[in-house]
Structure 1
Amino acid sequence: MNLNLIKKTFFILLLTFYITNTSAQSSHVLWYNQPAEYFEESLVLGNGKMGATVFGGANSDKIYLNDITLWSGEPVNPNMNPEAYKNIPAIREALKNENYKLAEELNKKIQGKNSEKYAPLGTLEINNSEKGKAVNYHRELDISNAISKVSYEMAGIKYTREYFVSAPDQIMIIKLTADQKGALNFDINLKSLLKSNVEVRNNILVMTGSAPIHENAGYNVVPKYLSIKDRGTRFTGLVQIKKTDGKITSSRETLTLKDATEAIIYVSVAASFNGFNKNPASEGLDDVGIALQNMNKAFAKSFDKLKESHISDYQKFYNRVDLNLGKTTAPDLPTDERLLRYADGKEDKNLEILYFNFGRYLLISSSRTMGVPANLQGIWNPHLNPPWSSNYTMNINLEENYWLAENTNLSEMHLPLLSFIKNLSVTGKITAKTFYGVDKGWAAGHNSDIWAMTNPVGQFGKEEPMWACWPMAGAWLSTHIWEHYIFTQDKNYLKAEGYPLMKGAAEFCMGWLVPDKNGNLITSPSTSPENQYKLADGFVGATLYGGTADLAMIRECFDKTIKASKVLNIDADFRAKLEKTLGKLHPYQIGKKGNLQEWYFDWEDKDPKHRHQSHLFGLFPGNHITPLKTPDLAEASKKTLEIKGDETTGWSKGWRINLWARLWDGNRAYKMYRELLRYVDPDGKKTEKPRRGGGTYPNLFDAHPPFQIDGNFGGAAAVAEMLIQSDENEIRLLPALPDAWESGSVKGICARGGFEIEMEWNNKMIQKMIISSKKGGKTTLIFGAKKQEIVLKTGERKHINW
Structure 2
Amino acid sequence: MTPGGISKEVTQLNIESLWTGGLWQDPSYTGGNQDPSQKDGLAQDMHTIRQTIFQAKNGTIDNIDVLGVPPDGYGSYASAGNLITTMDIPDNVTNYARWLDMDQAVVRASWDVNGTDFLRTTFCSNPTHSCVQHINSTGLLPNITYAFDSAISGLPQAVVTCLDSTTLYLRNNVSNPGMAYELIGRVVAEGSGAKATCSPVSSNNATIFVSGATSSWISWVGDTDYDMDAGDVTHNFSFTGQLPHDQLVSYLDSTSSSNVESLLTAHTQSYNSFLGGFSLSIGATPDLSKSTDELKTAYQVDTGNPYLEWLLFNFGRYLLVGSAPGTLPANLQGKWGEELSNPWGADYHANINLQMNYWFAEMTNMNLVRPLFDYMEKTWAPRGAETASILYNISRGWVTHNEAIHMWDHFDYTNDVDWWKSQGYPLMKGHALFQLDKLIADQHFNDSSLVVAPCNSPEQAPITLEIRQKRSQMDKGIHVGSWGQLQEWKVDMDSPTDTHRHLSHLIGVYPGYALTNYDSSVQAPPSKASTTYTKEQVWDAARISLIHRGDGTGPDANSGWEKMWRSAAWAQFANASMFYHELTYSIQVNHANNLFSIYDPAAIPRIFQIDANLAYPAVVLNGLLQAPDVPSLSTPLTITVLPALPSSWPSGSIKGARIRGAISMDVEWANDKLTSASLRVDDDAPARPVKIVYDGKVVSSFTTSGGLQKEIRI
TM-score using structure 2 length? 0.86
* Counterpart position of 1:137: 96
From 318, 330, 337, the counterpart of 1:374: 330
From 230, 234, 238, the counterpart of 1:277: 230
Distance 1:486 1:105, change over 3 A: closer
Percent pairwise identity: 28
From 37, 40, 48, the counterpart of 1:90: 48
- Name the amino acid aligned to 2:618: A
Q: Does 2:573 match 1:614? A: no
Give CA-to-partner distance per residue, 1:415-452, whole Å, 9 cap, x none.
111122212122211101211222322111xxxxxxxx
Q: Does 2:491 match 1:543? A: no
From 198, 204, 212, the counterpart of 2:160: 198
- Name the amino acid aligned to 1:707: F
1:357-756 → structure 2 map (5 Å cutoff)? 357-370=314-327, 372-410=328-366, 412-423=367-378, 424-444=380-400, 472-473=401-402, 476=403, 478-516=404-442, 517-532=446-461, 542-546=462-466, 551=467, 554=468, 578-581=470-473, 583-585=474-476, 587-605=477-495, 608-626=498-516, 629=519, 630-648=535-553, 649-678=559-588, 695-705=590-600, 706-726=607-627, 727=629, 729-756=637-664
SS in 1 for 2:464: coil
SS in 1 for 2:623: helix
* Counterpart position of 2:529: none
- Name the amino acid aligned to 1:710: D
Give CA-to-partner distance per residue, 1:189-215, whole Å, 9 cap, x none.
111233321122312111111233xxx
- Name the amino acid aligned to 1:336: D
1:178-193 → structure 2 map (5 Å cutoff)? 178-180=137-139, 182-192=140-150, 193=152
From 114, 118, 129, the counterpart of 1:170: 129
Q: Do 1:596 and 1:636's aligned partners in 2 also have CA atoms closer than 8 Å?
A: yes
* Counterpart position of 2:672: 764
Return the offset for 1:385.
Answer: 1.2
* Counterpart position of 2:216: 263
Return the offset for 1:74.
Answer: 4.4
Q: Do 1:720 and 1:749's aligned partners in 2 also have CA atoms closer than 8 Å?
A: no
Q: Do 1:627 and 1:634's aligned partners in 2 also have CA atoms closer than 8 Å?
A: no
Distance 1:92 1:345, change over 3 A: closer
Return the offset for 1:54.
Answer: 0.9
Distance 1:668 1:344, change over 3 A: closer
From 693, 698, 702, the counterpart of 1:782: 693
* Counterpart position of 1:288: 245
* Counterpart position of 1:308: 265
SS in 2 for 1:393: coil
SS in 2 for 1:104: coil
State how far apart, in whole Å, the 2-side matches of 1:316 and 1:519 are: 52
Q: Does 2:180 match 1:249? A: no
State how far apart, in whole Å, the 2-side matches of 1:783 and 1:604 are: 35
Return the offset for 1:639.
Answer: 1.2
State how far apart, in whole Å, the 2-side matches of 1:204 and 1:67 are: 19
Q: Do 2:396 and 2:437's aligned partners in 1 also have CA atoms closer than 8 Å?
A: yes
Return the offset for 1:329.
Answer: 8.3
* Counterpart position of 1:798: 710
Return the offset for 1:172.
Answer: 0.6
SS in 2 for 1:398: helix
Q: Does 2:83 match 1:124? A: yes
Q: Does 2:356 match 1:356? A: no
- Name the amino acid aligned to 1:189: A
* Counterpart position of 2:634: none
Distance 1:365 1:619, change over 3 A: same
Give CA-to-partner distance per residue, 1:431-482, whole Å, 9 cap, x none.
01211222322111xxxxxxxxxxxxxxxxxxxxxxxxxxx31xx1x22111
SS in 2 for 1:524: strand
Distance 1:527 1:319, change over 3 A: closer
State how far apart, in whole Å, the 1-side matches of 2:472 and 2:107 are: 56
State how far apart, in whole Å, the 2-side matches of 1:281 and 1:431 are: 16
Return the offset for 1:628.
Answer: 6.9
State how far apart, in whole Å, the 2-side matches of 1:281 and 1:391 are: 18
SS in 2 for 1:739: coil
Q: Does 2:63 match 1:153? A: no
Give CA-to-partner distance per residue, 1:706-759, whole Å, 9 cap, x none.
211100111111111111111352322112222222321110111100111111
Q: Do 1:323 and 1:747's aligned partners in 2 also have CA atoms closer than 8 Å?
A: yes
State how far apart, in whole Å, the 2-side matches of 1:320 and 1:494 are: 24
SS in 2 for 1:159: strand
Return the offset for 1:514.
Answer: 2.0
State how far apart, in whole Å, the 2-side matches of 1:342 and 1:427 are: 46
State how far apart, in whole Å, the 1-side matches of 2:81 and 2:397 are: 40
Return the offset for 1:275.
Answer: 1.3
Q: Do 2:284 and 2:310's aligned partners in 1 also have CA atoms closer than 8 Å?
A: no
State how far apart, in whole Å, the 2-side matches of 1:786 and 1:763 are: 21
Q: Do 2:664 and 2:681's aligned partners in 1 also have CA atoms closer than 8 Å?
A: yes
Distance 1:353 1:510, change over 3 A: same
- Name the amino acid aligned to 2:694: F
State how far apart, in whole Å, the 2-side matches of 1:316 and 1:795 are: 23
- Name the amino acid aligned to 1:55: P
Q: Do 1:184 and 1:262's aligned partners in 2 also have CA atoms closer than 8 Å?
A: no
SS in 2 for 1:86: helix
Q: Do 2:487 and 2:494's aligned partners in 1 also have CA atoms closer than 8 Å?
A: no
Q: Do 2:227 and 2:241's aligned partners in 1 also have CA atoms closer than 8 Å?
A: yes
State how far apart, in whole Å, the 2-side matches of 1:186 and 1:786 are: 65
- Name the amino acid aligned to 1:524: A
Return the offset for 1:797.
Answer: 3.5
SS in 2 for 1:748: strand
Higher mean C-alpha displacement, 423-432 vs 729-738: 729-738
State how far apart, in whole Å, the 1-side matches of 2:286 and 2:227 are: 52
Higher mean C-alpha displacement, 191-200 vs 279-288: 279-288
Q: Do 2:275 and 2:364's aligned partners in 1 also have CA atoms closer than 8 Å?
A: no
From 61, 79, 82, the counterpart of 2:9: 61
Distance 1:765 1:345, change over 3 A: closer
Distance 1:121 1:433, change over 3 A: same
- Name the amino acid aligned to 2:597: D
Higher mean C-alpha displacement, 326-335 vs 294-303: 326-335
Q: Do 2:592 and 2:598's aligned partners in 1 also have CA atoms closer than 8 Å?
A: yes
Q: Do 1:627 and 1:663's aligned partners in 2 also have CA atoms closer than 8 Å?
A: no
Distance 1:99 1:197, change over 3 A: farther
RMSD after superposition: 2.4
SS in 1 for 2:17: coil
Higher mean C-alpha displacement, 169-178 vs 310-319: 310-319
Give aligned pairs, total.
Answer: 646
- Name the amino acid aligned to 1:514: I
- Name the amino acid aligned to 1:209: N
State how far apart, in whole Å, the 1-side matches of 2:300 and 2:363 are: 28
TM-score using structure 1 length? 0.77
Q: Do 2:552 and 2:566's aligned partners in 1 also have CA atoms closer than 8 Å?
A: no
